[in-house]
Chain A
Amino acid sequence: MKTVRRLYFYAIAFISFEVVLWGVIGLIRSIVNPNLITDNAQALAQALSLILVGVPIFLVHWLWAQRTSAKEEEEKTAILRAVFLYGALFATLIPAVQNLLALINRTFLGAARISYERALLGGTQNWSDNLIAIILNLLLAYYFWNILRAEWPTLPDLENFKDIRRLYRYLWVLYGLIMIVFGAQQILRFILYIPTDVIGDIGRETFINATALLVIGAPIWHYAWRVVQDSLTDPAESGSVIRLVILYLLSLGGTITVLTAGGNLLYILLGRLFGESIPTADLIQKISGPLSVAIPFGALWGYYGNWLNLRFAFEENVPRRSGMKRIYFYILSAIGLTTAFIGANMLLSVVVDLLAKPSETMVGDAFSSQLAAALAVTVVGLPLWLMTWRSMQADALTDGDVGDHARRSIIRKAYLYLVLFAAVIGGMASAGGLIFTLINALLGGDKSDFVNSILNTLQTLVLFVVLLLYHFSALRKDGAARADALEAKQEQFSVLVFDNHGGRFGESVKAAFAKHAAKVPFKVITVSEAIPADLKVSAVIIPGSLAVNTPENVEVWMRSFNGSRLIVTDDAAGVFWVNDLGQAAQSVRALAEGQEVRPHSGARTSSVWTTVAYVFAALFALQLTFMLLMFGVSMVAGF
């Protein structure tokens, strides 16, 4: 309830301050700008209406938020408050930076006597427009910055604010990075541009725009990244999920872009090599595009790939570390396999064309273009797949813990089954196409290009079959792996289960173990039974109701037991299971008010995937409802 109220107040405060800010900016711009030809009354009325409506609404909601935050600790440390404060800071600093970029861009263009229309942004603005926006946004940014600076030392619980601050910092890193990569790419594009007889200085603005991006983007990225790196001494920062996700995205994004650009480059060069008639100047012009993309993204890949490796090394838990690496490698392997498959298919298609209709194929640039494309795709995809797949396959074929974890990995299973799925579906489609062509020809249908069509479909089918057989054999090898070291460890780890429910608890444990830990031996003892003196176990499982009301014989035995104790929540009168102190306090409040507290029993909690499924179902239901609504409206409105 409080969260919903909080969301309302902060959302209104955010929207209203933006309305006021841009209303004031619009008003001052219309007063200051001598070249702006507008209806002054309308411009003034518009700005005043935004200000007169926005200011009271903002004040009411923001002052309420400030008052409650000063009074209540829960409000002070709420995540929504952190989102609002850092969001407001972001929403004011970004426009300030964008306007500064526009100002610098136009200044550089003016110095080079190039039309402002060729500016990257703000081509139709002037210096006063940008200055007004910069000053007013910075003023508000300074206000919220002061609020945050005063807030931090007084926060009793820093977790929410730390999480949002982390996200805020990484957003700045990404923002600066986008500018620097784009700027570097444009600079390279300009360097590789060969002047021609074109009148009009086209292309010179590329350098100017790129320089403006770098002038702004480089300091932002460097500062933001330095702040992030300096914070890594805090384990919460170095081990954060956001950091991992960002590093994954940047490394994978860099890799994929470099390979795509590399493939394009190779295609152009091979085309020329195979005799495609293209003048040298045009060739350089063509390769400048992919080259200008590959170099900055290559640097991105190299730099952030290195940090990703360091992040992996930071993970002390070996299976978890291997799991993190696996995601990266299997994604690249999937991309490499798909590309290599398409390349092989294209190559075989060229061979089929040469065999079936050699005289038609060898005419003009089409053949060299086709062959160049096939080779380029294969040369990019095959090494990528081999490098990544062989590494993962080697792990899976290893004996011992490493091999067991690799073979059982859900990522590996998902990858293999996805490939098998694609191979079967693709094979079905190819086989269907082949049979259709044959039967159609037999029944007197269209026989033009019959041989070419049959051979092409056949080669596609063969490729899918090879894909299927190879990955199926990999899957079978995983299943047949003998001497499971992990299972051997499980068999030596015995467990004792105490039952105070007349056998029901023991039966539940038995069912759970059969599903999740079939190799672990366990023994069930009811509390009324005597505990054997020579009993040696590694862990004990007791129901929660027994933990809070332990019989003496069990208590004596437990005191001498040095192994692991696992307590399973169960239903017991007057016993409520809570997850943390916050929930405990809320439950006590409910009890004090005479409300019923729902006991947190051993009931199943929903898994993450169930939640994901619910979200997708809700989105789908929303879309369906919208479609039905539109259908209904169209029936009524008659369009």
Chain B
Amino acid sequence: MKQDKFLTGILIGIGALVLLALGLFFMRKDTKEYVAVDSPSAAVFNYVLAVTNKDYKTAYSYLADKEHKPTYEQFRQSFFNGSVNADNVGVDVGEAEVDGQDALVNLTLVYSPSDPFSGGYSSTDRAQLIQQNGKWKLTYMPYNFWGYDWYQEPIKP
């Protein structure tokens, strides 16, 4: 019966791991808050957080007022119909490079690992912002957070 004990031990060990992970799962719940928008990085941070929380009104408020800006309904529909999908990616907002009224913010996009032996993968990209009325507004984000047809002239038949 020594082998049964080993087997029981393995199953108990797995159960213990699951309970420990469950505790950590609830302890690590993401409670990020919006930050004061006093920098281009803060504007990007708030925009990404709003999109992640599906707070589309807040997210829309960070779009720059430029020609061919999507309406709020178009903006929202892009997320509903899946053309913009931020569900499977995380964002680490980096440093900003400011040049007068323009700014570039470095972003690291983090994707979940697809196999047990890898640690996931990440890619770098940049967000583009302009300053309007003293506030930083977005003119470009990576495709997971930006519609390809936003700020594009509509195609005439």
Interface residues of A (CB under 8 A from B): 112, 115, 117-118, 180, 182-191, 195-207, 210-211, 214, 218, 222, 225, 229, 285-286, 288-289, 292-293, 299, 302-303, 306-307, 310
Contacts of B120 in A (CB 8 A): 202-203
Say whether B89 contacts A299, CB under 8 Å. no
Q: A117-B85, A118-B112 are in contact. Are A201 and B13 (CB under 8 A)?
A: no
Query: Interface residues, chain B, CB within 8 Å of chain A?
Result: 3, 6-7, 10-11, 13-14, 17-18, 20-22, 24-25, 28, 30, 32, 45, 48-49, 52, 85-93, 108, 110-113, 116-120
CB distance from A96 to the nearest CB of B (A): 23
Of all A-B residue pairs in the complex, the 6 with the closest CB atoms, nearest first, are: A200-B90, A202-B90, A115-B87, A198-B90, A198-B92, A187-B17
A292–B87 CB distance below 8 A: no
**Chain B residues near A285 (CB, 8 Å)?**
119
A203 with B112: in contact, given A118-B88, A198-B90, A299-B10 (CB under 8 Å)? yes
B87 touches A118 (CB 8 A): yes
In the complex, which residue of chain A has the Cβ closest to the Cβ of B30?
A201
**Which B residues are CB-close (under 8 A) to A184?**
14, 17
| Chain A positions within 8 Å of B7 at CB level | 222, 225, 303
Q: Is the CB of B49 within 8 A of A190?
A: no
For the A-B complex, the count of residue pairs with Cβ-Cβ distances under 8 Å equals 110
Chain B: interface secondary structure?
mixed
Are A115 and B90 neighbours in the complex by a CB distance under 8 Å? no
Give every chain B residue within 8 A of A112 (Cβ-Cβ): 25
Knowing A210-B21, A222-B11, the reply to whether A197 touches B3 (Cβ < 8 A) is no
List the A residue with the shortest CB-CB distance to B118.
A289
Residues of A within 8 A of B21 (CB): 187, 190-191, 207, 210-211
Q: Which residue of B lies closest to A202 (CB)?
A: B90
Do A186 and B87 touch across chains, with their CB atoms under 8 A apart? no
> Roughly how many angstroms separate A288 CA and B21 CA in the complex, as a whole number?
14
Given A198-B90, A199-B48, A206-B112, residue A303 in contact with residue B24 (CB < 8 A)? no
Contacts of A310 in B (CB 8 A): 3
Indicate if the CB atoms of B111 and A199 lie closer than 8 Å: no
Q: Which of B14, B90, B111 contacts A201 (CB 8 A)?
A: B90
> Residues of B contacting A187 with CB < 8 Å?
14, 17-18, 21
Task: Return the chain B residue nearest A203 by Cβ.
Answer: B112
Whether the Cβ atoms of A200 and B110 lie closer than 8 Å is: yes
Q: Is there contact, CB below 8 Å, between B18 and A292?
A: no
* CB proximity of A37 to chain B, nearest CB, Å: 12
Nearest to A261 among chain B residues (CB) is: B117
Q: Would A293 and B117 be within 8 Å (CB), given that A200-B89, A211-B18 are in contact?
A: yes
A199, B90: Cβ atoms under 8 Å?
A: yes
Do B116 and A200 have beta carbons less than 8 Å apart? no
User: A222 to B11, alpha carbons, bound, how many Å?
Assistant: 9
Contact of A189 among B13, B111, B116 (CB under 8 A): B116
Provided the pairs A199-B52, A202-B110 are in contact, do residues A218 and B14 lie with their beta carbons within 8 angstroms?
yes
Cα–Cα, bound, A189→B85 (Å): 26
Given contacts A197-B93, A207-B22, A211-B18, 17 further A-B contacts (CB under 8 A): A117-B88, A183-B14, A185-B116, A186-B116, A187-B18, A190-B24, A195-B28, A198-B90, A199-B30, A199-B52, A200-B90, A201-B30, A202-B110, A203-B120, A207-B21, A289-B118, A306-B3
Select which of A183, A202, A288 is within 8 A of B89 by beta carbon.
A202
- Please pick, from B14, B85, B88, the residue contacting A180 in the complex, using a CB distance under 8 A: B14
Which of B24, B45, B90 contacts A191 (CB under 8 A)? B24
A204 / chain B contacts, CB cutoff of 8 Å: 25, 28, 30
What are the residues of chain B within 8 A of A190 when measuring CB–CB? 21, 24-25
The CA-CA distance from A191 to B16 in the complex, in Å, is 12
12 sampled A-B residue pairs with Cβ under 8 A: A118-B87, A191-B17, A199-B32, A199-B48, A199-B93, A200-B89, A202-B112, A203-B120, A205-B112, A211-B22, A222-B7, A292-B116
Given known contacts A198-B90, A199-B48, A202-B90, is B116 in contact with A293 (CB within 8 Å)? Answer: yes
Given A185-B116, A200-B52, A289-B117, also A218-B11 (CB < 8 A): yes
Q: Is the CB of A200 within 8 A of B86?
A: yes
CB <8 Å contact, B119 and A289: yes
